[in-house]
């Protein structure tokens, strides 16, 4: 499937989902045309028309879709790392979890040397903690570790 068709189908699907979800919203009986569903319904209907129109009369061409499996795998791995970070940040604390994230991301970026990565991650996690909590009085979770 060509990239432009794939994008068109994706947008059509998304706008149809929004259209049905908007249609399920209640109507304000006093102001029929001015209810919570007015704008979402209007916008999703316009999107359906334009995406269907694009599938019938394409208006642009872009390079055919190439999804590099290796890149997608790395994206998913990295998103999982960040998801794990969001789950542990409040449990083990900001500095410890951020240190772990900085270590992992530095290794993924290919910073050479164990000591260098360790020092860099330590400075980065402590530095941001100091900046946000001390200079800007922001709250960062302390958790069981730090």
Chain centroid offset of residue 85 CA: 14
Using alpha carbons, select from 145, 36, 16 the residue that is nearest to residue 92. 145
Among 108, 119, 130, 145, contact with another protein (rule: CB under 8 A): 108
- Residue 71's H or E segment, with its range, is helix 69-92
Over the window 44 to 83, marking each residue x when it contacts another protein by CB under 8 A and - when it does not, the resulting string is x-xx--xx--x--xxxxxx--------x--xx--xx--xx
Quote the CA–CA distance of 85 and 79 in Å, as a whole number.
10
Quote the CA–CA distance of 30 and 111 in Å, as a whole number.
63
Q: Which residues bind another protein (CB under 8 A)?
A: 3, 7, 11, 14-15, 18, 21, 25-26, 28, 31-40, 43-44, 46-47, 50-51, 54, 57-62, 71, 74-75, 78-79, 82-83, 85-87, 89-90, 94, 98, 101-102, 105-106, 108-111, 120-121, 124-125, 128, 131-132, 136-140
């Amino acid at each position: 499937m060509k990239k432009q068709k794939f994008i068109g189908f994706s947008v059509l699907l998304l706008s149809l989902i929004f259209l049905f979800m908007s249609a399920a919203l209640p109507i304000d009986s006093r102001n029929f045309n001015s209810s919570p569903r007015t704008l979402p319904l209007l916008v999703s209907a316009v999107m359906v028309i334009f995406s269907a129109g694009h599938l019938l009369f394409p208006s642009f061409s872009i390079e055919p879709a190439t999804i590099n499996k290796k890149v997608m795998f790395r994206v998913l791995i990295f998103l999982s790392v960040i998801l794990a970070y969001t789950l542990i940040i409040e449990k083990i604390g900001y500095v410890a979890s951020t240190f772990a994230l900085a270590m992992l991301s530095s290794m993924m970026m290919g910073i050479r040397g164990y000591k260098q990565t360790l020092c860099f991650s330590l400075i980065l996690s402590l530095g941001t903690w100091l900046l946000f909590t001390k200079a800007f009085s922001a709250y960062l979770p302390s958790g069981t570790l730090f």
